[in-house]
Amino acid sequence: MRHTELTLQSSKLLVPGAVPAKLGQLQVPLGRDHHLLSAGFRPLMLLPGSHAADFWTRQEYSVLEAQQKGIDMAQSIVDVATYILERTGTVTTMKLQKLAFYSQAQHLAQYGSPLFPEAFHAWRGGPVAPELYALHRGKVLIRPGELSSGDSSALTDAERALIDRVCSALGGMTGAELSERTHVEDPWLHAREGMVPSAPSDAVITQEAMRSYYQEHPVLD
């Protein structure tokens, strides 16, 4: 399945006098207020059928909002995934996605804020972040160093400690076992409400759904 080049149309992120400037596979508005890039914005790799403008706006606004509130946030899910691989060694791509998902869930439950801005989608095999998927598409296993755009040094000591705890608690499970766990938890189930198990879906698992559920049902005992 090929990725699609998309153009941002949402007015929510346009700045006065901005002109479009192409970045990777997405066009974003740039101008004198080029805080979008300085905030750590990354081009998105979205699958056909995704609502690009809404997806970009929802994710990237969370970066700006976090900065305005003084909340530390890792630059991207790729930075988090890079650190997970440094810690766990070679894992399946399914397991990497799920450890990243539960790291995000734990951060939302513990601090009320996201660890990274990218959203997870309720795919058949469990939560998947398309930006991370784009970097390991076609692979079953992924090794440390294979996410060349990731930078684990972007994470704070507290963020690393949280990820360490998640990996220690869940690292003994396989990717399939972690996927099965997500399939009985409300964030994935509610995002796929009304769908048959085999149906493809690009429905977003919202950060609020994750925060509220995992505060009541902790990832870590």
Residue 20 DSSP label? E
Per the domain annotation, does 221 fall within a domain?
A: no
Task: Identify whether residues 104 and 165 lie together within a single domain.
Answer: yes
Give per-residue pLDDT as tens, 4-47.
333 333 323 333 333 333 333 333 333 322 333 333 334 333 34
Tokens for 104, please give them. 């995000």
Task: Identify whether residues 188 and 81 lie together within a single domain.
Answer: yes
Whether residue 3 contacts residue 46, with contact meaning beta carbons closer than 8 Å, is answered with yes
Per the domain annotation, does 1 fall within a domain?
A: no
Give per-residue pLDDT as tens, 67-119.
555 555 667 999 999 999 999 999 999 999 999 999 999 999 999 999 999 99
What strand order describes the sheet that includes 26-30?
6-7, 26-30, 19-23
Whether residue 149 contacts residue 135, with contact meaning beta carbons closer than 8 Å, is answered with yes
Helices (H), the chain: 35-38, 52-68, 77-88, 93-111, 130-136, 157-170, 175-182, 186-191, 207-216
Task: Identify whether residues 112 and 176 lie together within a single domain.
Answer: yes
Which pLDDT does position 17 carry in this prediction?
Answer: 32
Task: Identify whether residues 91 and 176 lie together within a single domain.
Answer: yes
Residue 146 has pLDDT above 80, yes or no: yes
Which residue among 37, 68, 99 closes a domain? 68
Task: Identify whether residues 102 and 203 lie together within a single domain.
Answer: yes
Task: Identify whether residues 112 and 29 lie together within a single domain.
Answer: no
Task: Identify whether residues 64 and 95 lie together within a single domain.
Answer: no
Which position has the token pair 């801005």?
117
**Average pLDDT score over residue span 158-184:** 98
Task: Identify whether residues 203 and 98 lie together within a single domain.
Answer: yes
Task: Identify whether residues 24 and 93 lie together within a single domain.
Answer: no
For 39, the domain range is 6-68
CA dihedral in degrees (135, 76, 63, 15; nearest 10)? -50
Say how far apart CA 37 and CA 59 lie, in whole Å: 13
Say how far apart CA 32 and CA 188 lie, in whole Å: 40
Whether residue 116 contacts residue 47, with contact meaning beta carbons closer than 8 Å, is answered with no
Which residue among 48, 68, 88 closes a domain? 68
Task: Identify whether residues 193 and 91 lie together within a single domain.
Answer: yes
Lowest-pLDDT range of 18-27, 116-125, 153-162, 193-202: 18-27
Classify 105 in phi/psi space as left (phi over 0), alpha (psi -120 to 50) or beta. alpha
Task: Identify whether residues 46 and 94 lie together within a single domain.
Answer: no
Percent of the chain at pLDDT exceeding 70: 67
Q: Give the chain's domain count.
A: 2
Which residue among 68, 93, 111 closes a domain? 68
pTM for the whole structure: 0.71
Per the domain annotation, does 168 fall within a domain?
A: yes
Say how far apart CA 128 and CA 97 lie, in whole Å: 6
Task: Identify whether residues 104 and 147 lie together within a single domain.
Answer: yes
